[in-house]
Amino acid sequence: MQLTAPTPPAATSRAEQLMQLEDQYGAHNYHPLPVVLSRGEGVHLWDVDGRRYYDFLSAYSAVNQGHCHPRIIGALTEQAQRLTLTSRAFFNDRLGPAEKQLCELFGYDKALLMNSGAEAVETALKLARKWGYQEKGIAPNQARILVAEHNFHGRTTGIISFSTDPDSTGGFGPYNPGYQVVPYNDLATLEEAIKDHQVCAFLVEPIQGEAGVMVPAVGYLAQAAALCQAHNVLFIADEIQTGLGRTGKLLACDHEAVHADILILGKALSGGVLPVSAVLADDRIMLTIQPGQHGSTFGGNPLACAVLQAALDVLLDEELAANAARLGQVFRERMWQVQARRPDVIELVRGKGLLNAVVIRPAADGRTAWDLCVSLLARGVLAKPTHGDIIRFAPPLVITAEQLHEACDVIAEVMIGF
């Protein structure tokens, strides 16, 4: 007998109709808040009914430059009318200048452009292995890469092979070998593991965003990088979420003057306009990969390159990293004031720059961080919980002090009344 899907109930509003369409025809791999967005500008988003919200997620830090920044959109539309894609079978007039800007800004010999952040991570892993075999002399197929516990670097089958999140790994095995998980922010364990000659790299997020904005102890990154150098191991910094001004510096590693052997960028590299990511390294690493050994049809396309350059220009010209440093401290101070009044609601406030998290205590009546985010939504502030009890707050870096305080007033009122 052939089964037919039940007829869904009739939706009563345009928003409900659109949410119902996604539910009916889209994969159920996300659990979004019940709001349907249709327009964005700066730090604000509007839903299909015209209600305005403060965006305190920034598409997981992809929209550091604000929604639809006119300079980035201008670069997009101008390039889109000229040339969008050639593939890397030919040279184009936008890739070289974009690579040059990236390399000069971050201090590397070479840049390799991809699309998504996960693609960039996979690229870095391949580079590290190739370097390990070709330059370090690791025996074929024996290279190992150290990763941090509670990491999040993407959800490809390769990347989840070293994830410790059961939601990412459950039901997707078998997993790829060649990885060793070490505790985050634990130098002693890292030092012991890194002594093995077969270790070619240590991959780490300077701040673990998806894990709940876990900020390591001061000196951890610098000492970890020093251990890598001492044992001829590559230090790979995944700055896809923490980079490009989010933490109050151009890179989160800059807080400890760490220059990674391999740097991974994504998200805000396009200001949230289209997928573009980059892996940066010096010649001794990058040139281990030769033609035919790695690539992407869309990687380094002219449209992405034009957008990338405009996004970097905005980041620097508008001094967004400095704004993140200044207003991030303001945000944490406002949240600490709320915590002082409602320690039964807020367990902890942590972060750096405008990448912050508030840990919510379980409520006696069973309400959770999700319920708090729904209440914030009703009051015009968009944020999303992670790991059940943590709310990540990360507005676009173009936010002003006045806008931040206005949003903090709402957050404070909701949390005090929770």
Active site residue 23: no
Instruction: Please state whether beta strands 199-204 and 144-148 pair in parallel, antiparallel, or not at all (unpaired).
Output: parallel
Residue 352 forms beta bridges with which residues? 355
- Annotated catalytic, 90? no
Q: Does the active-site annotation cover 106?
A: no
Active-site position among 249, 267, 352, 384: 267
Closest CA to 165 of 180, 177, 178, 151: 151
Q: How far apart are CA 107 and CA 118, in angstroms?
A: 23
Strands (E), 242-400: 262-265, 277-281, 346-352, 355-360, 381-382, 384-386, 390-393
> Which among 106, 152, 298, 331 is annotated as catalytic?
152
- CB under 8 Å to 174, separation ≥6 — which residues? none
Gyration radius from the chain CA atoms: 22
What DSSP string runs through 195-259?
TSTTEEEEEE-SSBTTTT-BPPPTTHHHHHHHHHHHTT-EEEEE-TTTTTTTTSSSSGGGGGT--
Name the catalytic one among 106, 130, 202, 238: 238
Catalytic machinery residues: 152, 238, 267
